[in-house]
Structure 1
């Protein structure tokens, strides 16, 4: 019994390290966080971005393992959803910028001058979608 528990703990830890290393490699190789700070012109806060990714991944992993339920009023979903949407939207925007998806698309459809408007539309769409998810589907 003890050996099987230790084996399961070892496997969980190993898989966690593997997924974490893959996530860090993904962010580091593509340069997502530096590009995100360039897009928002907040290079001075790059360590804050890095620590927020680490803290968010650790908190999310811990909360998913514990099946945590937050007993908060529904109005608390508004700022949480806004912050979630902003982070996911900015991360998605930085990823598409790094991969040059939007510049290529903008050139092909002839709106290369309005790429910032297209980028902000994606960000606002992510914010609105996240807020809708938090207000409608998440039961606090």
Structure 2
């Protein structure tokens, strides 16, 4: 019985490692990290930024997997939510830019000016939807 659990644990750990490596490779491939470093002019701290990205992903998974209470309560979770939202927004925009989705969209709907308002309305809609979900405790 012990060997069965040991084997299942090892397989689960390996599968999780492969998935995590794939996700981090995807994030690097579409250029989120490079864009953020370019916009913030923090190229001299590239190793530190990469370390924080890996540490954030690892700690986030540990907290989620083991259901660890986050010290600091609501303010810390609010800051985490804002940071995660900004990162997901950057990830989505990098992916959309990589796929050239926005130019195709603007040509199809004959949008010559105001693309920034379309992007802003998508972000506001996503934020309001998340706020309603969490405030009303919809599950």
TM range (shorter): 0.7 to 0.9
List alignment gaps of at least 5 residues for structure 2. none
Which residue matches 1:110?
A: 110
User: Over the residues paired in the alignment, what is the CA RMSD in angstroms?
Assistant: 3.2
Which residue matches 1:44?
A: 42
List alignment gaps of at least 5 residues for structure 1. none
For normalisation by structure 2, the TM-score amounts to 0.72
Which residue matches 2:129?
A: 129
Which residue matches 1:61?
A: 61
Asked if 2 retains the 8 angstrom alpha-carbon contact of 1:30 and 1:98, the reply is yes
Asked if 2 retains the 8 angstrom alpha-carbon contact of 1:96 and 1:102, the reply is yes
For normalisation by structure 1, the TM-score amounts to 0.72
* Displacement of 1:92: 1.4
The alignment covers a number of residue pairs equal to 137
**Residue deviations 1:43-98 (CA, integer Å, cap 9, x gap):** 42683654443223212211222022447655655434333322222221221111
2:105 and 2:49 map into 1 onto residues whose CA distance is 28
Runs of 4+ in structure 1 deviating by more than 6 angstroms, as ranges, are: none
2:50 and 2:119 map into 1 onto residues whose CA distance is 22
Instruction: Give the 5 Å matches for 1:1-140.
Output: 1-37=1-37, 41-44=39-42, 47=46, 50-70=50-70, 74=74, 77-137=77-137
The higher relative CO (CA closer than 8 Å, separation ≥ 6) is in: 1
